[in-house]
Chains A and B, each alone.
Chain A
Amino acid sequence: GAGVSQSPRYKVTKRGQDVALRCDPISGHVSLYWYRQALGQGPEFLTYFNYEAQQDKSGLPNDRFSAERPEGSISTLTIQRTEQRDSAMYRCASSPPRGTGTLDEQFFGPGTRLTVL
């Protein structure tokens, strides 16, 4: 079946603009995670949803960052008034309900490479 998809794959924007990054999880996966990965580093947790509820947003760096998952499926990560330091790969992952045989595994999408000029 289809994996996690993200769009756009590449986004170049000017400083001060808002951007919206989309994640489409694997069908039936109830948990959805957003991570940010700087060049040469491991992914860093941003936020987590269980169905439509945002369970943990402790990793969002400041109030310019927000995320939503209104119908418990597709999620959007929005960055307002982008800054050059926001340039990174933004990765989305989803995981199935507990008890379905793949405990703890997160399936990652290809990522969106954001460049802020």
Chain B
Amino acid sequence: GNSVTQMEGPVTLSEEAFLTINCTYTATGYPSLFWYVQYPGEGLQLLLKATKADDKGSNKGFEATYRKETTSFHLEKGSVQVSDSAVYFCALKGSSNTGKLIFGQGTTLQVKP
């Protein structure tokens, strides 16, 4: 079945450091891929998405490229801020019409000033 695997956290970085959070997936067909973010005390928010191979999703300085050859959707940001501290979830939506999302286990990012 479809699944998502994320790198384990927590990830601790200094402000302005480069961020990579790895995400790989297993899916049949052509899934859509997502990154969701959960800030402390808040609900899940969509950060970015990509719906086909080689698409790059981007938002708030974050980027992720849909790589079908490596079944990956790694999240990157060139210079993190303290306000980026949150839990990041990689997710996929399969080719069927149900729309259900399959999430990875989440990666906690802590950015120190």
Contact A104 B51 (CB under 8 A): yes
Task: Report the Cα distance A48→B49, complex, angstroms.
Answer: 21
Please give the distance in Å from B104's CB to the nearest CB on chain A: 5
Contact A109 B99 (CB under 8 A): no
Q: Kindly state the interface size class of chain B when it binds its partner.
A: 20 to 34
Contact A42 B103 (CB under 8 A): yes
Q: Kindly state the interface size class of chain A when it binds its partner.
A: 20 to 34
Contact A59 B100 (CB under 8 A): yes
Contact B98 A106 (CB under 8 A): no
B89 on the A face (CB < 8 A): yes
Please give the distance in Å from B31's CB to the nearest CB on chain A: 10
Cβ < 8 Å to B, chain A residues 31-61: 31, 33, 35, 40-45, 48, 55-56, 59
Q: Assuming A35-B101, A106-B99, A107-B46, what are 5 further A-B pairs, CB within 8 angstroms?
A: A42-B4, A95-B99, A104-B99, A108-B43, A108-B44
